[in-house]
Chains A and B, each alone.
Chain A
Amino acid sequence: MQLNNWLIKCNHTPETLDRIMMHFRKRGLLVNEINYKALNAQQAECVVLFDEEKENASRIYNNIMRTVDVHSIEIK
């Protein structure tokens, strides 16, 4: 397993965090750590740490990027 550390830049909405998390939940994955932080009334950042192989992580990446309120994912 590989530790993934992602910084997700997103809109700050009531559902953004759920929309990020659902891609882990639907695969039965555990998230090691999550830190969601509102930067202002509109923008937020979310740091997610999880263990997953590269190929699966890449598909999670694509799934999250389909979210309207997600702008970018920075892989640390």
Chain B
Amino acid sequence: MKIKLRGADYVVKILELLEVDSLFAYPGGAVLPIYDALANGNVKDILVRHEQAASFAANGYARVKGKPGFCLATSGPGATNLVTGIADAFADSVPMVAITGQVMLHLIGTDAFQETDITGICLPITKKCYLIKNLEAAADIFVDAYETAINGRPGPVLIDIPRSVQGEYIELDENWEANFRKPQLNRIYNATPENWEAAKELVSSAKKPLIIAGHGNLLSDCWQELRDFVAREQIPAVSTILGMGALENDNPFYFSWLGMHGMKYANTAVQEADVILALGIRFDDRITGRLKDFAPNAKILHIDIDNSECNKNVKTEVFIHADLKLAYQNFPLTLNEENKVTRAEWISYLTSLKDKYPLKPVDYDVFNMITAIDVLDKIAPDDMIVSTDVGQHQMWSGQYLSKLKPNHFLTSGGLGSMGFGFPAAMGAQAAAPDKNVWCITGDGSFQMNLQELITCVQEQWPVKILVLDNNYLGMVRQWQEQFYSRNYSGVDLLNPNFVKLAEAYGIASAEATNTEELVAAITKANSTKGPFLVHARVLKEDNVLPMVAPGASLSETIYYPAEEVKNFKKKKLNIQDAIKQLADKV
């Protein structure tokens, strides 16, 4: 027996079969039939207030849930508003399915109202784009799109659906849903025995081997395999900022993250290593510094899911094309009696470097971003999910958040999109309703998507927001200070009263101008059932260090000024005691 379904209803049914539970979306003329169908379906559509937030939220959802995030927008401006979020997902290899309405099929190319060539616009920032021209192809397209998003190196795809197609009818077998082919994850494994032999020889003979663990470890859901591998091989590891959480912060083999604002000891480790095991990384310029001086003594073993990363930025001695999860299972043992000793010495040396070049200790008498982030880190539950925006607060969050679990640190690493943090936190909350989700944001970044406050209220998402307000675009100001002779230009921010703004949206809020007030505000936020905004008025001028200046080598990592370092020991407090004292006081 045959049944007839309208295109829009068919699409929504397909979304249900794909187990889409959250669709971050905004309506408009070219998706009206889909909205009509959504009203009767089981897919929860979340009404954002700007389409860009929909694509960022889908990103946050995907990272926390471990499956593609879905977003939907109408044609024209709706579709183009998704673009930054799609580009962000492409840069950070996050699986996402963006669905856009399009003008009627026969109107394409007539410069119709709200017509844009969104599949053309998105070519460079998607793995694949699709235009559904007839309903018969729709199910296959959705499944192919889903599989494309998750298989190989994950990333975003876009499906453009003309409004006329949404209104057409398709004849289907009565049991078509039972026969619907679910998307499959196919893990890539193209490693050969010769690859492993070469890898074993390279790593076994190394005196100073070093792992650089990237986002691939989180995307491939193999942080446990990484932890086991590190422990088995006794090889020290650093991570990229997107790889944070893959290794525990207190793991004795882990030496934090490298790069432009990474730890000086992590950068030094890279520059002194003789073999680098690059696991799920893409050698972004923010981690390599001046490319020709990157890891000058090291031969590189690179394992990646994306074959096109082979020799793209850094010359590789051995490249293994495989999903890391499978690679760890097959990686031969390289630890032996001989190198066990040299590895222990190497780790001991790196530990001494870590002691020599610590991060600046937190000074609770100074109310700056570091203090604020540290206080949140100490008070919040261990399984807190944090999203950040982009700028100084992002780097300090990476440096001072100490207990993040895998996929619990959401940040726009590759594209560096201001405005990412808050919607990504919403997506994370949708994916993990019972988790404590904090968005750490700056006064500049937050104002790029603060309209979503009301979305949180409407959805009853208890997202907590820490706005670190220094009345500056802090990172730009820092660069103008360091590289443009303090010629500050376009960085002074006149801000609204964020507490009153939150109140206007019906969100509980508190202001903090010192550490004690912040402890009180965060404590109150965590005990509040709904969303909560903390407006922290922090020190205006402060610079993120350590730093590798643009165009410099990792060997030239700028540490803190010598005078400041002298005072490190004097200022060093027992942080737990300090926080406890503050909390007791409050």
Give chain A's interface residues, CB within 8 Å of chain B: 14-15, 18-19, 22, 26, 58-59, 62-63, 65-66, 68-69
In the complex, A37→B216 CA distance in Å? Answer: 36
In the complex, A19→B129 CA distance in Å? Answer: 10
In the complex, A68→B148 CA distance in Å? Answer: 8
Q: Which residues of B contact A69 (CB under 8 A)?
A: 128
Known: A68-B152, A69-B128. A15 touches B119 (CB 8 A): yes
Tell whether, in the assembled complex, residue A26 and residue B124 are in contact, meaning their CB atoms are under 8 Å apart.
Answer: yes
Known: A68-B128, A68-B148, A69-B128. A62 touches B312 (CB 8 A): yes
| Residue B311 interfacial (CB < 8 Å) | yes
Among B119, B123, B129, B311, contact of A62 (Cβ-Cβ < 8 Å) = B311
Q: Which residues of A contact B131 (CB under 8 A)?
A: 14
Among B307, B308, B310, B311, contact of A63 (Cβ-Cβ < 8 Å) = B308
Among A19, A59, A63, contact of B123 (Cβ-Cβ < 8 Å) = A19
| Residue B306 interfacial (CB < 8 Å) | yes
Report how many residues on chain B are interfacial, defined by Cβ distance under 8 Å: 18
- A28 CB, min distance to chain B CBs, angstroms: 14
Q: Which 3 pairs from chain A and chain B are nearest by CB?
A: A66-B308, A65-B308, A62-B308
| Residue B120 interfacial (CB < 8 Å) | yes
Known: A15-B128, A68-B128. A58 touches B311 (CB 8 A): yes
- B297 CB, min distance to chain A CBs, angstroms: 23
Tell whether, in the assembled complex, residue A65 and residue B148 are in contact, meaning their CB atoms are under 8 Å apart.
Answer: no
In the complex, A62→B127 CA distance in Å? Answer: 14
Tell whether, in the assembled complex, residue B129 and residue A15 are in contact, meaning their CB atoms are under 8 Å apart.
Answer: yes
In the complex, A22→B311 CA distance in Å? Answer: 21
- In the complex, given contacts A18-B123, A62-B310, A63-B308, what are 20 additional A-B residue pairs having Cβ atoms less than 8 angstroms apart? A14-B131, A15-B119, A15-B128, A15-B129, A18-B120, A19-B123, A22-B123, A26-B124, A58-B311, A62-B311, A62-B312, A65-B307, A65-B308, A66-B153, A66-B306, A68-B127, A68-B128, A68-B148, A68-B152, A69-B128
Q: Which residues of B contact A14 (CB under 8 A)?
A: 131
Beta-carbon contacts under 8 Å, B298-323 to A: 306-312
Name the CB-closest residue of A to B307: A65
- B129 CB, min distance to chain A CBs, angstroms: 6
Q: Which residues of A contact B307 (CB under 8 A)?
A: 65
1/0 per position for B124-142, CB-CB distance to A under 8 A?
1001110100000000000
- B476 CB, min distance to chain A CBs, angstroms: 26
Q: Which residues of A contact B124 (CB under 8 A)?
A: 22, 26
In the complex, A59→B309 CA distance in Å? Answer: 10
Q: Which residues of A contact B310 (CB under 8 A)?
A: 62
- B281 CB, min distance to chain A CBs, angstroms: 15
Q: Which residues of B contact A65 (CB under 8 A)?
A: 307-308
Q: Which residues of A contact B123 (CB under 8 A)?
A: 15, 18-19, 22
Q: Which residues of B contact A19 (CB under 8 A)?
A: 123
In the complex, A63→B124 CA distance in Å? Answer: 10
